[in-house]
Amino acid sequence: DSVKVPLICSLTLQKMKYPGRTVFCKHFACFDIYNFILLNSQAKLPKWQCPICKASAYKFEIDCIMNSL
C-alpha cells in the first residue's frame, strides 16, 4: 500500500521550503508553513485554517520526511 502526496505547495504552486501541517490535521499532505504564515500575516482577513482540511492553524509541525526530499 502506498500514499501519494504532492511536493508542490497548494498555496504557492512552488516546491515547499518548510513542508508541514497543523497538529490537528489528519491528512499526510503538506503545505509550506513559511508561506502560509507570510500570506496570512499580510491578509486583511487572515484565515488561520489549514488550506487542505480547514483545521485550526495555530500550532504546526514540520514533516521531516517531506523536508528531506
β-sheet bridge partners, residue 60 = 22
Neighbours of 3 (CB within 10 A): 7
Position 22 scores a pLDDT of 94
Q: What is the pLDDT along the chain (69 residues), one digit of tens a residue?
A: 777 777 888 888 998 899 999 999 999 889 999 999 999 999 999 999 999 999 999 999 998 777 776
Position 2 scores a pLDDT of 76
What is this structure's pTM? 0.82
Position 69 scores a pLDDT of 67
Give the SS3 label for residue 62: strand
Query: Which 8-state DSSP code applies to residue 15?
Result: B
